[in-house]
Structure 1
Amino acid sequence: MTAPFVPQIALYRNWLAEQRGLSFANYEEMRQWSVRDLDGFWRSIWDYYDLQSPTPFAAVITERKMPGAVWFPGAQVNYARQVFRHVEAADAAGLPAIVSSGEDGKLDETSWPELRRKAAALALHLKEKGIKPGDRIAAYLPNIPETIIAFLASASIGAVWSVCAPDMAAP
């Protein structure tokens, strides 16, 4: 028997009650808290998702102005590192990293170890080509697993990724 689906927002609300002693009568009340207490809300998001940084942050936000706000100064978060830290657990649970379908309608799955291996291989290739943190990588790729692999490879070395998919065009 499969466990019932619980929305992430409900899991987060439960976590806030258990870990922070915060309870809300409804979604709107929680939303109001999130915009009134920016430090508390965004710190809770950091903790709830167990974001990791090799360096600590000095504050959640330095100035409350847009543009110009600086969030979590001192932290160094890498999206690919955050994604790949769950590979073993997700693979052990039998969860695929990507389920895709081509124009032929055939479903295909990419495992977590395979996704990590392919992204690492491409990241090494990009480094060999001289790509370094802060460089920009732009791609014209369809919505296929290789696009996700290229994004994760780029992010893993600190490059800025931009993609335009041909299937986003007007009919």
Structure 2
Amino acid sequence: MVNEGNDGFALPRGATGFYWPKDGPLPETDLSAFRAALYAAARIVGGEVGGVEERVYPRTFHTATVVGREGESTVLCHAHHPWVAFVKERRDWYGEDFLAPPPWANAFADAGFTVLSSGRLATPLSDLDTSVLAQGEWREVRFYGVTSLGGILFNAWD
């Protein structure tokens, strides 16, 4: 299921990738479930998984590609929450350059991931419940000029 609405998305702890040791470690997205969903998506498009790049600090996401008859699609998977997004090309961080999920994105939803639409990812910070963000996270938001949900979730702040 693609998450389309702007219903006051509440950011959970770890959405930015920042955490404080006293609060304990952040959850980890099941990378094997993400890989399985990638292969399911590749089967749907009659293609193959082009590669999976695991998250490296300070990035908050894993990156992969699915190559099919329509070309190559880049898939992002948040490292701490089961969120998936689609972009044109691999980069270390993203702002508002997200693509609409392709028709085969349901392979990720079927595997338990939330597929985020480009509209949802463009949601302004003012429309989000950001009460969980700490002062240090707000400092990064201002420093990097982040204005949307996508910029909060798929970043490489350090």
| TM-score calculated relative to the size of structure 2 | 0.28
Which structure is richer in relative contact order (CA contacts within 8 A, separation 6 or more)? 2
Relative to total residues, which structure has the larger helix share, 1 or 2? 1
Return the index of the structure with the highest Cα Rg.
Answer: 1
| TM-score calculated relative to the size of structure 1 | 0.26
Relative to total residues, which structure has the larger strand share, 1 or 2? 2
